[in-house]
Chains A and B, each alone.
Chain A
Amino acid sequence: MKPFTQHTGLVAPLDRANVDTDAIIPKQFLKSIKRAGFGPNAFDEWRYLDRGEPGQDCSTRPLNPDFVLNQPRYQGASILLARENFGCGSSREHAPWALEDFGFRAIIAPSFADIFYNNCFKNGLLPIVLPAETVDRLFRETAAAEGYRLAVDLAAQTVTTPAGESFAFQVDAERKHRLMNGLDDIGITLTHVDTIRAYEDRRRRETPWLFQ
Chain B
Amino acid sequence: MKPRTLYDKLWDAHVVHVEPDGTALLYIDRHLVHEVTSPQAFDGLRLAGRQPWRTTSVLAVPDHNVPTTDRDRGIADPVSRLQVETLDANCKEFRLTEFRMDDPRQGIVHVIGPEQGFTQPGMTLVCGDSHTSTHGAFGALAFGIGTSEVEHVLATQCLWQKKSKTMLVKVEGELGRGVTAKDIVLAIIGRIGTAGGTGYAIEFGGSAIRALSMEGRMTVCNMAIEAGARAGMVAVDEKTVAYLRGRPGAPVGAMWDQAADYWRTMVTDPGAQFDAVVELDAAAIMPQVTWGTSPEMVVPVSGRVPDPAEAPSAVKQGDWERALQYMGLAAHTPINEIGVDKVFIGSCTNSRIEDLREAAAVAQWGLQHGRKVAANVRLAMVVPGSGLVKAQAEAEGLDRVFREAGFEWRDPGCSMCLAMNADRLEPGERCASTSNRNFEGRQGQGGRTHLVSPAMAAAAAMFGHFVDVRSLS
A7 near B: Cβ within 8 Å? Answer: no
Interface-located stretch among B102-110, B145-153, B348-356:
B145-153
A23 with B441: in contact, given A18-B194, A88-B195, A196-B16 (CB under 8 Å)?
yes
| 9-residue interface stretch from A24-32, A145-153, A157-165 | A24-32
Q: A92-B146, A93-B148, A186-B151 are in contact. List 9 more A-B contacts (CB 8 A).
A: A20-B439, A30-B37, A114-B164, A115-B130, A174-B19, A186-B152, A192-B158, A199-B16, A209-B259
Contact of A212 with B by CB under 8 A: yes
Residues of A near B94 (CB, < 8 A) are none
Which A residues touch B36, using CB under 8 A?
Answer: 30-31, 92
- Whether B466 is near chain A, meaning CB under 8 Å from some CB there, is no
Question: Nearest-CB distance from A39 to chain B (Å)?
Answer: 16
Which residues of B sit under 8 angstroms from A196, Cβ to Cβ?
A: 16, 25, 27, 156-158
Judge if A172 is at the interface, Cβ distance under 8 Å: yes
A90 within 8 A of B: yes
- A51 within 8 Å of B (CB atoms): yes
Interface residues of B in 391-447 (CB under 8 A from A): 418-420, 437, 439-442, 445
Residues in chain A near residue B164, CB distance under 8 A: 114
> Which candidate, A57-65, A72-80, A98-106, A200-208, is the interface stretch facing chain B?
A200-208
Contact A203 B195 (CB under 8 A): no
Q: Quick one: closest B residue to A83, CB to CB?
A: B315
Taking CB as reference atom, which chain A residue is nearest B20?
Answer: A173
Residues on the B chain within 8 Å of A91, using CB: 37, 128-130, 132, 144-146
Q: What is the bound-complex CA distance between A1 and B146, given in angstroms? A: 15
Contacts of B22 in A (CB 8 A): 172
A-B contact pairs, 14 of them (CB 8 A): A26-B441, A26-B445, A27-B442, A31-B79, A31-B83, A31-B420, A33-B40, A33-B43, A85-B195, A114-B199, A118-B146, A118-B149, A186-B155, A192-B16
Known: A28-B420, A91-B128, A174-B160. A22 touches B27 (CB 8 A): no
Contact B158 A84 (CB under 8 A): no
CB distance from A89 to the nearest CB of B (A): 6
B437: which A residues are within 8 A, CB to CB? 20, 22, 89-90
Pairwise interchain contact A207-B441, C-beta atoms closer than 8 A: no
Would you call B294 an interface residue if the criterion is a C-beta within 8 Å of the partner chain's C-beta atoms?
Answer: yes
Contacts of A41 in B (CB 8 A): none
Please pick, from A22, A35, A123, the residue contacting B439 in the complex, using a CB distance under 8 A: A22
CA of A26 to CA of B149, assembled, Å: 21
Q: Tell whether B29 is near chain A: CB-to-CB under 8 Å.
A: yes
Interface residues on A, range: 35 or more
Question: Judging by beta carbons under 8 Å apart, are B439 and A115 in contact?
Answer: no
Distance of A20 Cα from B37 Cα, bound (Å): 17
- Chain B positions within 8 Å of A, measured between CB atoms, are 16-17, 19-23, 25, 27, 29, 36-37, 39-40, 43, 48, 50, 56, 64-65, 77, 79-80, 82-83, 86, 120, 122-123, 128-130, 132, 143-149, 151-152, 155-158, 160, 162, 164, 194-195, 198-199, 225, 228-230, 249, 251, 255-256, 258-259, 262, 294, 296, 315-316, 318-319, 322, 418-420, 437, 439-442, 445
Q: How far is the CA of A147 from the CA of B56 in the complex (A)?
A: 54
The distance from the CB of A121 to the nearest CB of chain B, in whole angstroms, is 9
Check: A210 CB closer than 8 A to any chain B CB. Answer: yes
- Contact for B25 among A30, A93, A192, A207, CB less than 8 A: A192
Tell whether, in the assembled complex, residue B420 and residue A27 are in contact, meaning their CB atoms are under 8 Å apart: yes
- Residues on the B chain within 8 Å of A123, using CB: 148
Is there an interface contact between B27 and A200, defined as CB atoms closer than 8 Å? yes
Chain B nearest CB from A112 CB (Å) reads 8
Chain B residues, Cβ within 8 Å of A32:
79
Say yes or no: B255 contacts A208, CB within 8 Å.
yes
| In the complex, residue of chain A having the shortest beta-carbon distance to the beta carbon of B65 | A31
List chain A residues, Cβ under 8 A from B157.
196, 200
A141 CB within 8 Å of chain B: no
A131 within 8 A of B: no
- Contact in complex: A85, B194 (CB < 8 Å): yes
Q: Contact: A195 with B195, CB < 8 Å?
A: no
Contacts of B143 in A (CB 8 A): 115
| A195 near B17: Cβ-Cβ < 8 Å | yes
Bound CA–CA A15/B145 (angstroms): 27
Residues 167-180 of chain A, each 1 if its beta carbon lies under 8 Å from chain B, else 0: 00000111100000
Interchain nearest-CB distance for A41 vs B (Å)? 12
Q: How far is the CA of A89 from the CA of B225 in the complex (A)?
A: 7
Q: Which of A30, A45, A212 contacts B420 (CB 8 A)?
A: A30
Q: Is the CB of A23 within 8 A of B228?
A: no
